[in-house]
């Protein structure tokens, strides 16, 4: 069986959008990494967990494959394909890492000449020590994900590997519990099935049931567990929903919750309005309601990213990655 490849016309569009591509995988230089290389700021995960923004490699082994069609997604929906991935059509972890690292090096090659780049940071950025497996598509569709996590964790420079999942592949979640990333995110974008269907628009008939199964597996995973709630004003953050979120939070038993504003950017502007983007104050007020009903405590926030961090008082772990 030949290797799965992103369709040439989509690959061309991704390359035009400054992605590096190899077969079914893609890499990009995150906006915050660019800012950090210019000493113009760092991402909220550096503030909250101590990762090195300038040494972050943001990539995906399943860049255009996803079982959701989220209305708030900044990516072009027409890029996304709903399909599984067979082991013998998927690249091995080493090939993905080496080919994407080369692509990333090319994407970073223009910085030294721009007169603004911190050259010491640029040199360090060529050896990533943080891997954000979240760029686009759903990483749990990649059949060798546990092996990829182990491979990255065993690299000499690695400090942390983060995965963001939508929970649509509970079987892979179960496999991942044997080789968990440093930090695992489960995205929660709706408090109930009706809103889930409307906001995430899952391609599978039993999307909600799959999500709930993943939530159960997630709750027992022996790693840092983060629930990320994406809030859309006028859609999923009304007061009656607080109790429903609290029920999901209790089932998931995360160490931390990130309450994050939907951002009116990219292709999401064709599907939502600017007024659907909550202010940081909206996010802070919603987080206070979650704090009241769950007993989690607000621990930190980052206004320019419109995100608030809450910690589980019953299952305390250190905020910073070791």
Interface ranges with ligand SF4 (CB under 6 A): 30, 32-33, 43, 45, 51, 53, 56, 58, 132
What order of strands is seen across the sheet that includes strand 307-311?
A: 19-22, 25-28, 56-60, 130-133, 160-165, 183-188, 224-231, 256-261, 307-311, 297-302
What's the closest the beta carbon of residue 227 comes to ligand SF4, in angstroms?
A: 17
Q: How far apart are CA 164 and CA 246, in angstroms?
A: 21
Q: Which two tokens stand for residue 43?
A: 């991402």
CB 234 within 8 A of CB 187: no
What's the closest the beta carbon of residue 56 comes to ligand SF4, in angstroms?
A: 3
Cβ closest to ligand SF4, residue 170 vs residue 180: 180
Cβ closest to ligand SF4, residue 51 vs residue 172: 51
Cβ closest to ligand SF4, residue 33 vs residue 287: 33
What's the closest the beta carbon of residue 130 comes to ligand SF4, in angstroms?
A: 6
What's the closest the beta carbon of residue 208 comes to ligand SF4, in angstroms?
A: 27
- List, in sequence order, the alpha helices (H) in the chain: 8-16, 31-37, 44-49, 93-108, 119-125, 145-153, 170-176, 193-200, 207-219, 242-252, 280-294
Cβ closest to ligand SF4, residue 185 vs residue 196: 185
What's the closest the beta carbon of residue 43 comes to ligand SF4, in angstroms?
A: 3
The DSSP string of 86-126 is -GGGSPPHHHHHHHHHHHHHHHHTTGGGGS---HHHHHHHT
Cβ closest to ligand SF4, residue 168 vs residue 305: 305
Give me the numbers of helices (H) and strands (E) for the chain, helices first please: 11, 10
Cβ closest to ligand SF4, residue 136 vs residue 214: 136
Q: How far apart are CA 162 and CA 180, in angstroms?
A: 9
Q: How far apart are CA 14 and CA 230, in angstroms?
A: 25
Cβ closest to ligand SF4, residue 35 vs residue 99: 35
What's the closest the beta carbon of residue 47 comes to ligand SF4, in angstroms?
A: 10
What's the closest the beta carbon of residue 204 comes to ligand SF4, in angstroms?
A: 27
Cα-Cα-Cα-Cα torsion 197, 212, 86, 99, nearest 10 degrees, comes to 90
What's the closest the beta carbon of residue 299 comes to ligand SF4, in angstroms?
A: 18
Please work out, in degrees rounded to the nearest 5, the angle formed at the alpha carbon of residue 217 by the alpha carbons of 248 and 302: 55
Cβ closest to ligand SF4, residue 128 vs residue 167: 128
């Amino acid at each position: 069986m030949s290797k799965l490849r992103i369709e040439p016309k989509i690959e061309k569009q991704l390359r035009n959008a400054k992605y590096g591509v190899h077969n079914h995988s893609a890499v990009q230089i995150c906006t915050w990494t660019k800012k950090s290389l210019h000493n113009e700021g760092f991402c909220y995960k550096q503030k909250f967990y101590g990762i090195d923004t300038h040494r972050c490699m943001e990539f995906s082994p399943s860049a255009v494959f996803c079982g959701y069609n989220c209305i708030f997604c900044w990516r072009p929906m027409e890029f996304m394909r709903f399909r599984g991935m067979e082991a013998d059509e998927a690249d091995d972890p080493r090939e993905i890492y080496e080919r994407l690292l080369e692509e990333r090096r090319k994407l970073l090659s223009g910085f030294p000449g721009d007169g603004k780049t911190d050259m010491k940071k640029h040199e360090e950025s060529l050896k990533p020590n943080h891997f954000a497996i979240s760029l686009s598509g759903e990483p749990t569709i990649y059949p060798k994900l546990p092996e990829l996590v182990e491979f990255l964790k065993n690299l000499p420079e690695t400090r942390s590997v983060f995965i963001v999942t939508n929970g649509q592949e509970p079987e892979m979640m179960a496999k991942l519990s044997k080789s968990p990333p440093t930090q695992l995110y489960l995205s929660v974008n709706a408090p109930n099935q009706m809103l889930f269907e409307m906001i995430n628009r899952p391609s599978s008939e039993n999307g909600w049931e799959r999500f709930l199964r993943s939530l159960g597996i997630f709750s027992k995973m022996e790693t840092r567990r983060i629930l990320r709630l994406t809030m859309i004003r006028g859609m999923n953050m009304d007061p009656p929903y607080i109790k429903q979120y609290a029920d999901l939070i209790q089932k998931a038993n995360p160490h931390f919750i990130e309450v994050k504003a939907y951002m009116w950017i990219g292709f999401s502007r064709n599907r939502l309005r600017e007024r659907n983007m909550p202010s940081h104050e909206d996010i802070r007020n919603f987080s206070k309601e979650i704090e009241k009903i769950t007993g989690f405590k607000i621990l930190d926030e980052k206004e320019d990213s419109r995100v608030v961090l809450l910690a589980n008082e019953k299952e305390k772990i250190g905020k910073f990655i070791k």
